[in-house]
Amino acid sequence: MKADSEIIEIPEFVNREKEKKSLKAVLSGRPNLVYFVYGPINSGKTALINEVIKELSENYRVFYINFRGFEGGYQKFTRVMFKVGDEGLWKKLCEKLDIISAGVEYVEKLAKKINTGIVLPAEFIRRLQVGDTQEDKVDVFNYLEEVMKRFNEKGFKPVLIFDELQVIREEINATGMPLLARLFNFFVRMTKETHLCHCLCATSDCLFIEEIFSNARLDGRAKYLLVDDMEKDEAFEVYEAFGFEDKELIWDYIGGKTGDVIGLFEEKKQGFSEKEALERLLLNEIARLRWIEARLFNERKDAEKLWEFLKEFKEGEKSVSFRENFDKLVYWIKENVLFYNPLTGNVRPQSRLLWHAIKRVVN
């Protein structure tokens, strides 16, 4: 095992120049479409987004919201989006402005270039959630539109980024209209209709994207931006940065999956050879697949057909008819075993490791 002084530190960001260029191009012009940043799990979507927004000029105002903290309900939706800030500033603003104008100016004064939530006083957040009366309640989306208008008037370029969007899959009824539909109506208004704000939605749940397209009627109003696993030449450069040696062996096991590259790095830190570390990663995926198999046969009457369906992917990516195999595809995609690309319609194992696991486990 290498001495501590010889251990190479993990690179802060895996270089993705092609994807960075595409995302920067989306954010450079006026907002016209809602963009879905999608790709297989652990392909580096969140890291890419955060790297790009760091490199934006100072006239941007980015609000990055991660929905991993969302547990359901309209009030909890607002709690994920908004953070409590300076109450003293709020009192000063309220002395000379009405509540909506005060709320807008409050955000303008406290917003940085990059924000992990929209900072507001607790009193105003309460009104966004419930309000003492129906008249007292402030609608979240109407209020956000006023904020975006103000930023534009001041010469700023606002960007709303919602990450891990699949967490809000369950539609929550807020005021007689599903929360999800209201959210995407707002995105469309901010982009295609008023051009006030760039809106990006990041997720690895591509079935959810298809549901959104259908339910929110996003044809002609939204576009896909794929963040896929790295190509071979790009992956080899990353292997070099991580200090890996047997690049062909590593490519065979994990390909260009960013998350698995980091997993290999962590295994090697523990003293395992590259071959040993790769086998350990593969055994983890095999164990996960075996667990899914056991649960599947315990819970589903159609288990045999579902399990047999995985044989279709022993050769890797392919085009599969959803019409003929809908239930099977949905099951394995939701289990994060298969990845569905909504742009091409093709389906493949979520990772090269999973592909090897399928070949070993499914006879």
d(CA 148, CA 168): 23
Per-residue pLDDT of 297-307, as tens digits, reads 999 999 999 99
d(CA 35, CA 27): 10
The whole-number pLDDT of residue 81 equals: 79
330 near 324, Cβ under 8 Å?
no
pLDDT tens series, the chain, 363 aa: 444 445 556 665 566 788 899 999 999 989 999 999 999 998 889 889 999 999 999 999 999 988 876 655 555 666 777 888 877 887 888 888 888 888 888 898 889 999 988 888 887 877 776 444 455 567 888 889 999 999 999 999 999 999 887 777 654 444 444 677 778 889 999 999 999 999 999 988 888 888 888 777 788 899 999 999 999 999 999 999 899 999 999 999 999 999 999 999 999 999 999 999 999 999 999 999 999 999 999 999 999 999 999 999 999 898 888 889 999 999 999 999 999 998 888 999 999 999 999 999 998
The structural domains of the chain, with segments of one domain joined by +, span 17-226, 246-361
How many other CB atoms are there within 10 angstroms of residue 149's CB atom? Answer: 15
Query: What are the CA-CA distances from residue 348 to residues 154, 208, 249, 308 (Å)?
Result: 47, 17, 21, 15
**Domain 17-226: which CATH number of 3.40.50.300, 3.40.50.2000, 3.40.190.290, 3.10.620.30:** 3.40.50.300
Can you give the C-alpha Rg of the chain in angstroms?
23
Residue 35, both tokens: 């963009």
Residue 102, both tokens: 């005060």
- In one-letter notation, the amino acid at residue 51 is E
d(CA 157, CA 198): 8
Residue 316, exposed/middle/buried by CB under 10 A (0-12, 13-18, 19+)?
Answer: exposed
- Assign a CATH topology to domain 246-361: Arc Repressor Mutant, subunit A (1.10.10)
Positive or negative: CA dihedral 271, 275, 280, 281: positive
d(CA 91, CA 68): 32
Q: What is the mean pLDDT of the chain?
A: 86
Query: What are the CA-CA distances from residue 54 to residues 20, 62, 160, 224 (Å)?
Result: 11, 10, 14, 22
Are 17-226 and 246-361 in the same CATH fold?
no
Per-residue pLDDT of 8-62, as tens digits, reads 566 655 667 888 999 999 999 899 999 999 999 988 898 899 999 999 999 999 9
Which residues, at least 6 apart from 150, have a Cβ–Cβ distance to it below 8 Å? 104, 105, 107, 108
